[in-house]
Chains A and B, each alone.
Chain A
């Protein structure tokens, strides 16, 4: 049995060589990726940051992969991964996943249904502290029907049952982790040398220097087209850019627009834009700090609408991002937002804003600034010092509101200092940038009424709308993808009318990349999702592409 993957890989190589006598498409090469942050963990169940995910997703497999169109409703378009196929029960409350019998862990042991059951138990156990555990609560249990069949049982039918079962969990090896206490997983030996079933296997991790993974040559899904991928830890964006320009690294993600211009000017590099799931918006505090009392100024929906009408968002986004961002129509980026022609962000209409402010009793004084009953109309906006784009946007907003007679103070703070202020809702306006999961159901966390008064919840504005909650609940509970989309479109109209946030930008992510790299499937979820299919033509390989360990 152990020889089968090797034989399959040899056959695949032979076939490739026959089709390509010059050998230009043979696998090989080394990709060096600049990684902005050190991974916090190599254990997928604990992975929360992009750095964690970048490595974990190469080493471990899901049961099925999300389709390229990011559909999360039903199972349409999902691509088999560890699961070769799946069946639904008649009542749709269970899904039987039939595992690929060829799948092996990198230590040679076969992947079995028990691994799937173990993985769900690991994610679901609160002691583990899995960040995505709250997103799989609709899974009641996972049982083992036979060694290659795992059965997922659900509490209730929803349009995203299949997505819940497949997207959030990377399957862990039970035989490696069975004796490890779930609350000490982070410090376990497995966390230092993870063993997965993905098309890359773990090679080495030098803290602060680099993490290295290599192609699993006998992998059941086919050998990765690259020999090695090295994630170099380069915390400073300028240092990462310098290393890209000097050809010491091949990929730098999240280029700033000015850096992208430098990269574009080079013949050996290119800029690869791709859609992202990031959305930036001005969160408006609806409560007086963390109390149930309405915010003295922003508690009034007319005031929030006046603010939205005051801002020329298209112009600001153009000035800050050039053509690399657009203004979203709602709280989610267009990649996953419902297609609804009736959705329009509030237009830039200073005259309408003035009329609203006047009607609320905020009259202009001799200096042009507004006040009511002797109280000046003054607000504060919170932005992180680490985001140049958000700082610039705050300046534009400040200038625009000043023209409307509203004094806005910009408070720039370190991200670590922003956290407690955000959690305590100690802000008036806050420019928030959130990278969403590919499902709209995550919006319940940020905008759902159930979280409105929960301390430290993602609903930082305290927004609570029975109409929005009912529509989003209906969308989530809907068994029909078409109905779910229609409910979401209506929910977006409700939240747009209520203006708990002013949607500012959804950027196209810019990646600086060496020209010899053929990058495929840059998905908005994670650009590295298709890394195993990236390749480097043999004729264009550099000396480091031919290096072996």
Chain B
């Protein structure tokens, strides 16, 4: 799958209208001869099949090519962005799933009441709102107007490498709050919608009626029995969300100037940097495949009936 995605990306990048040296040099007076020289250095002047074969040959040895728009090997560019996205993705997924499951549990336990409807409407609204709207609202109020949190970036210019370890961690955490929250809100809403339905289905299942008849405590009924039976689809959802850890969130990373994979991929596409764009796509595709497989493994462990 990853190989197919890689080849398809290379072909599409080449066929798409645009010039690898067009965007970043808009207005710059780089003469045609020099541009031709740069194209040759990029390997962008060879026929498509040769380019694809060359890329595959190098990729098999672990060389993903040179990111022309960044002046460094693709692996280094991705290596610099990946930890930031992994950090943001992990925080957002943990917060989003924890929040979403908690919200769903509150809704399910109050099913049919006014609280259930309010929480459901709120979750639906958060899910329906585009991420950039959520992000801009958070920036406007929590950062620009009230100044509680930084508006963007991943670190404060004043906190240098020589600063105490704890101070640096606290600084990263402060910068993580807004982009993490913007992503987590949307994830939580999505998870809550799924989880509420499956929780209520489980609640009506015969084994739970039996447990209730045996006098099992209500909290244990919900968390130990109902949630365990209902968590399968949520685990699947978590597995499918794994690419967020590597693929990044284009919009949120852009709005918050978060230096992750989303920004990197966005800029690679904008600059028509073929090797960098394909590197980002390949990584994301690999994570989708890996995420799906992991989700199936975890679900099989939780519920052996689903194991094939």
With a cutoff of 8 Å between Cβ atoms, the chain A residues found around residue B151 in the complex are: 239, 242-243, 245-246, 248
**A303 is an interface residue with CB less than 8 A from chain B:** no
Main secondary structure of the interface of B (DSSP, over half): loop
Q: Give the 10 A-B residue pairs with the shortest CB-CB distance, closest first.
A: A419-B22, A544-B158, A416-B18, A208-B259, A419-B19, A456-B32, A41-B71, A129-B37, A207-B80, A547-B158
**B215 is an interface residue with CB less than 8 A from chain A:** no
A155-163, A230-238, A515-523: which lies at the B interface?
Answer: A230-238
Report if A40-B143 is in contact (Cβ < 8 Å); known contacts: A131-B30, A416-B17, A420-B17: no
Q: How long is the Cα–Cα vector from A413 to B69 in the complex, in angstroms?
A: 21
**A482 is an interface residue with CB less than 8 A from chain B:** no
With a cutoff of 8 Å between Cβ atoms, the chain A residues found around residue B164 in the complex are: none
Q: Using an 8 Å CB-CB cutoff, how does the interface string of A507-549 with B read, 1 for contact, 0 for none?
A: 0000000000000000000000000000000000011100111
Which residue of A has the minimal Cβ distance to B272?
Answer: A416
24 pairs, CB–CB < 8 Å, chain A vs chain B: A30-B157, A37-B24, A48-B30, A49-B28, A126-B37, A129-B37, A186-B41, A191-B72, A207-B70, A209-B84, A235-B254, A236-B254, A239-B151, A245-B144, A248-B150, A248-B153, A413-B17, A415-B26, A416-B20, A420-B19, A455-B32, A456-B32, A544-B158, A549-B161
With a cutoff of 8 Å between Cβ atoms, the chain A residues found around residue B29 in the complex are: 131, 434, 436-437, 442, 445, 458
Q: Which of B71, B80, B259, B267 contacts A186 (CB 8 A)?
A: B71
**What's the nearest-Cβ distance from chain B to residue A136, in Å?**
12
Report if A232-B157 is in contact (Cβ < 8 Å); known contacts: A48-B30, A183-B41: yes
Question: Do the beta carbons of B22 and A207 come within 8 Å of each other?
Answer: no
Question: Do the beta carbons of B25 and A48 come within 8 Å of each other?
Answer: yes
**B47 is an interface residue with CB less than 8 A from chain A:** no
Q: How long is the Cα–Cα vector from A419 to B23 in the complex, in angstroms?
A: 8
Question: Do the beta carbons of B162 and A38 come within 8 Å of each other?
Answer: no
Q: Using an 8 Å CB-CB cutoff, how does the interface string of A418-454 with B read, 1 for contact, 0 for none?
A: 1110010000000001111100001001000000001
Question: Do the beta carbons of B28 and A236 come within 8 Å of each other?
Answer: no
**A340 is an interface residue with CB less than 8 A from chain B:** no
Q: 8 Å CB contacts to A: which residues of B58-94?
A: 66, 68-73, 76-77, 80-81, 84
Which residue of B has the minimal Cβ distance to A542?
Answer: B158
**What's the nearest-Cβ distance from chain B to residue A303, in Å?**
28
Question: Do the beta carbons of A192 and B32 come within 8 Å of each other?
Answer: no
Question: Do the beta carbons of B255 and A246 come within 8 Å of each other?
Answer: no
Question: Do the beta carbons of A235 and B263 come within 8 Å of each other?
Answer: yes
Question: Do the beta carbons of B158 and A543 come within 8 Å of each other?
Answer: yes
Q: How long is the Cα–Cα vector from A428 to B26 in the complex, in angstroms?
A: 19
Q: 8 Å CB contacts to B: which residues of A162-210?
A: 183, 186-187, 191-192, 204, 206-210
Which residue of B has the minimal Cβ distance to A210?
Answer: B157
**B206 is an interface residue with CB less than 8 A from chain A:** no
**What's the nearest-Cβ distance from chain B to residue A478, in Å?**
22
Question: Do the beta carbons of A433 and B27 come within 8 Å of each other?
Answer: yes
Q: Using an 8 Å CB-CB cutoff, how does the interface string of A245-276 with B read, 1 for contact, 0 for none?
A: 11011000000000000000000000000000
**B131 is an interface residue with CB less than 8 A from chain A:** no
With a cutoff of 8 Å between Cβ atoms, the chain A residues found around residue B32 in the complex are: 454-458
B residues contacting A by CB (< 8 A) are 17-38, 41, 66, 68-73, 76-77, 80-81, 84, 139, 143-144, 147, 150-163, 254-257, 259-260, 263-264, 266-267, 270-272
Question: Do the beta carbons of B157 and A435 come within 8 Å of each other?
Answer: no
Question: Do the beta carbons of B34 and A418 come within 8 Å of each other?
Answer: no
Question: Do the beta carbons of B267 and A235 come within 8 Å of each other?
Answer: yes
**A130 is an interface residue with CB less than 8 A from chain B:** yes
Number of A-B contacts (CB under 8 A): 195
**What's the nearest-Cβ distance from chain B to residue A198, in Å?**
19
Q: A48-B25, A208-B263, A236-B255 are known; give 15 further A-B pairs, CB within 8 A.
A: A38-B267, A191-B72, A204-B161, A208-B259, A243-B150, A248-B153, A413-B17, A415-B22, A416-B23, A416-B271, A418-B22, A435-B28, A457-B31, A458-B32, A543-B158
**A501 is an interface residue with CB less than 8 A from chain B:** no
**A32 is an interface residue with CB less than 8 A from chain B:** yes
Question: Do the beta carbons of B22 and A416 come within 8 Å of each other?
Answer: yes
Q: 8 Å CB contacts to B: which residues of A340-370?
A: none
Most chain A Cβ neighbours within 10 Å, of B28, B143, B254, B272: B28
**A39 is an interface residue with CB less than 8 A from chain B:** yes
Question: Do the beta carbons of A40 and B69 come within 8 Å of each other?
Answer: yes
With a cutoff of 8 Å between Cβ atoms, the chain B residues found around residue A386 in the complex are: 26
With a cutoff of 8 Å between Cβ atoms, the chain A residues found around residue B260 in the complex are: 208
Question: Do the beta carbons of B264 and A246 come within 8 Å of each other?
Answer: no
Which residue of A has the minimal Cβ distance to B136?
Answer: A238
Q: Which of A49, A129, A414 contacts B34 (CB 8 A)?
A: A129
**What's the nearest-Cβ distance from chain A to residue B298, in Å?**
32
Q: How long is the Cα–Cα vector from A233 to B33 in the complex, in angstroms?
A: 30
Question: Do the beta carbons of B71 and A544 come within 8 Å of each other?
Answer: no
Q: 8 Å CB contacts to B: which residues of A220-238?
A: 230, 232-236, 238
**A374 is an interface residue with CB less than 8 A from chain B:** no
**A134 is an interface residue with CB less than 8 A from chain B:** yes
Q: How long is the Cα–Cα vector from A278 to B155 in the complex, in angstroms?
A: 33
With a cutoff of 8 Å between Cβ atoms, the chain B residues found around residue A37 in the complex are: 24
Q: How long is the Cα–Cα vector from A314 to B154 in the complex, in angstroms?
A: 44
